[in-house]
A and B are shown apart, each in its own frame.
Chain A
Amino acid sequence: MRVLLADDNAERAGALARVLAADPAISVVLVRAGELLADAVTAFSPDIVLVDMARPDRDALDGIRQVTAHDPHPIVLFVDEDDPAFMEDAIGAGVSSYNVLGVPPPDVKPILRAAIALFRRHQEARAGQTEAETKLHEREIVDRAKAILIKERRLGEPEAYRWLRKQAMTSGKRIAEIARSVVREKEGTSI
């Protein structure tokens, strides 16, 4: 089976290509940067196309026919009508799959499942990174708020932290939010 992979994220595309290439029955080709998706389909004539849903040129495959020397094949979105949750999963992960021959090859679902898992892992890694950055940023703000309190109110460091925590508990806000308002009040800048 020939799989065309359209994903500008080189790291993720490479990882997925390696996973799929482990099956000797599958050959994988990546769409080159700047190459039109429709041209890549013509050049490689794949059985299925896996597409990163973030690509704006995904529309090039929607509803078109792949014209070969013999007859035009409709390219259709792979959809498992009996398993809508599977489709929601794919959309949630941001990957879609097209069958070039109109009918899905029998083993398309495991391939798409592998793609979903990989896209999902990248999504989580990215989310984790943002969360880590936010946490780091918040710790800086709390430190700056503590420094202000230590200086202005002549508190020790543990007392400054307890003051922030108490404010947070009484107002139902997070410590980072209280810290942010302390810093904003003092420095007059938005954070």
Chain B
Amino acid sequence: MSQTIRIGLLRLADSAPVLVAQERGLFARLGLDVAIAIEPSWSNLADKLTYGVLQAGVMLPPLVLAAAMGLRGPAAKMVVAMGLSQGGNTIVVGERAAARVAAPQQPTGRMVLEWLRSYRIANGRPPRFAVVHRFSTHNLLLRYWLAAAGADPERDVETVVIPPEQVAAALADGRIEGFCAGAPWGDVAQAAGAGQILLGTSAVWPSHPEKCLALAEPWLEANPESARLLVRALLQAREICATPSEAPAIAALLAREDGLALPADVALAVLPGGGASETLAFLPGAAAYPSAAHALWFLRQMRRWGWLDSRADLNAVARRVYRSEVLDAEGVPPRPVADLPPCNNRDE
């Protein structure tokens, strides 16, 4: 039990459960010795989980699936043990596009499609949209939304990857025409006058799974009891994070100079009860369950865009990567699945 568990995370507001568990002594109370590592990129987190430098990480679910399927190098032994947060991303376009797209009497989707097509004709190239990682919830939800509007995400937009803290500046100086990024970066761009938030990703998939707790599989196999305690502490931390009256203290924690150093006012706005366009959610209990249905939704979208071998057994991948045994042992009931966006497109 005295072995240090190293948990990696990025400078994002939805890293809060791990920081809160550490700060409030929830790990220590259960006899866990946890060290937090702030990483500069998702790739670093994935590499360090793969090579045992980290035992756990706050991860993007599609990236865990992609790493485990060998889409970014050899298949990594990495699993999803629980969900940590829901929602929190925004789809933003630059001011000029927003003026064309935001017609109150028209469905946003159709206006977006017209703008995409006319932009391409006028500029000889499709507009550039930034996401934070190819294998991110942001990219998959942006593509799903574009496709639902009738656009072809492969032809009608060019997707580039830019770190979230740089997207507002990239939009302001015209390197990109839009982006989908996590909290608080959409509100930061809007406040700076660089663009307008068209919608939050919760409008695409209400309470969609966002960050998850990923574990290095060899560590989980060797330390099932520590994994249980880790998850127990994080379930408690999620409850604190979900409580609006705790938000000021959590925002102060996220703003600490020796920690994530996020802007305190913006962090407060995106936490539950805050005033941002799209707030983070840490839904209680069953919402943390690593549901195979969620894994399958992400996998089907990845297959839809041609990223997966068409022969891959998606059910088997979902079962192998989304490991519910830790939450089962903690008595968390499986999440009733009723709210998935339909997957009735050409992928099936």
Contact = CB atoms under 8 A, between A and B. Distances in A.
Interface string A164-188: 0000000000000000000000000
Contacts of A53: 40-41, 43-44, 47
B33 interface: no
A88 interface: yes
A77 interface: yes
Contacts of B133: 59, 62-63
Q: Which of A59, A60, A81, A88 has the most CB of B within 10 A?
A: A59
Contacts of B44: 53, 58
B30 interface: no
B72 A38 contact: no
B51 A88 contact: yes
B73 interface: yes
B48 interface: yes
Interface string B139-182: 00000000000000000000011110110000000010000000
Contacts of A36: 160, 162, 175
Contacts, number: 76
Contacts of A64: 134, 161
Nearest to A94: B44
A58 B48 CA distance: 14
Interface residues of B, number: 27
Interface in B278-322: none
A101 to B, nearest CB: 15
B43 A59 contact: yes
Given A63-B72, A64-B134, A84-B51, A57 B162 contact: yes
B132 interface: yes
B173 to A, nearest CB: 10
Contacts of A92: 53
A55 B40 contact: yes
Nearest to B10: A56
B74 A81 contact: yes
A88 B161 CA distance: 26
Interface of B: 40-44, 46-48, 51-53, 66, 71-74, 132-135, 160-163, 165-166, 175
